[in-house]
Structure 1
């Protein structure tokens, strides 16, 4: 889509390594919105790869985040976002007036077993669904 004519809300999910929580949230936002939201994610210190346990947990939900690559958080991504959701990145996230900011306190799934990551995943799904509803997006899944 042309960014100049794209009227979809943009949501940015941010966590430190962009390898677990933010990638799961981005996966849910894409799936639950059916493309009605532009989704971005980034990290203040991107990891080398996506957490394989997070990939497995999301596959159970029918969402494949296995091809995602951790990205460095860019100031322009924050500037372009309508909603910025942080998950443990502390003061590393730039703040722009007029943006919707939320900090979701979520357990870091790094190094955790599948059962723990499922709990984090399920919490993220509920939060993403609520966020999309608040943004006026009709959920499709």
Structure 2
């Protein structure tokens, strides 16, 4: 792993789960981890309920935009975290893969998205501890 590890979060639309995870990792990693996110079939815009849920945590993801998953993004990543994209992610030897089973916030109200957000935060915090031991 490089001095500054790179983590790629992938979900189908790159509009909810992966964007929330990227927002948390940028915040909790304090710039010590390179953060990427992408989708196998990106949406046009980020889920506004995900934006609102993150704003409740003091994290602004309004400037993020869904991006298409590329082989290059996977290749440069030390850790690839998938969230419901199935076999859409390319596989490269030497890259660590994790699959986080999380409900999709698409079409959900804020009450349903909050627990998803909180679980993402918990998992991201554990990942930070692992990648940046004190």
* Common fold: TM-score over 0.5: yes
CA-CA distance at 1:137 after TM superposition: 4.9
Unaligned ranges ≥5, structure 2: none
Cα 1:137–1:12 change in 2 (3 A) is farther
- CA–CA distance in 1 between the matches of 2:122 and 2:133? 14
What secondary structure is seen at the aligned counterpart in 2 of 1:14?
Answer: strand
> Which of the numbers 110, 118, 121 marks the counterpart of 1:122?
118
4+ runs deviating over 6 angstroms: none
For 2:22, the equivalent position in structure 1 comes to 26
The CA deviation string for residues 53-84 of structure 1, in whole angstroms up to 9 with x for no partner, is 00000000010111111000011010000000
For 1:3, the equivalent position in structure 2 comes to none
For 2:4, the equivalent position in structure 1 comes to 8
CA-CA distance at 1:99 after TM superposition: 1.0
> 8 Å contact 1:33–1:137 — kept in the other structure?
no
For 1:111, the equivalent position in structure 2 comes to 107
RMSD: 1.0
TM-score (ref. length: structure 2): 0.96
> 8 Å contact 1:36–1:137 — kept in the other structure?
no
For 1:92, the equivalent position in structure 2 comes to 88
Unaligned ranges ≥5, structure 1: 1-5
- CA–CA distance in 1 between the matches of 2:91 and 2:59? 30
> 8 Å contact 1:83–1:100 — kept in the other structure?
yes
Q: 1:53 aligned to 2:79?
A: no
Q: 1:80 aligned to 2:76?
A: yes
TM-score (ref. length: structure 1): 0.92
Question: Number of aligned pairs?
Answer: 133
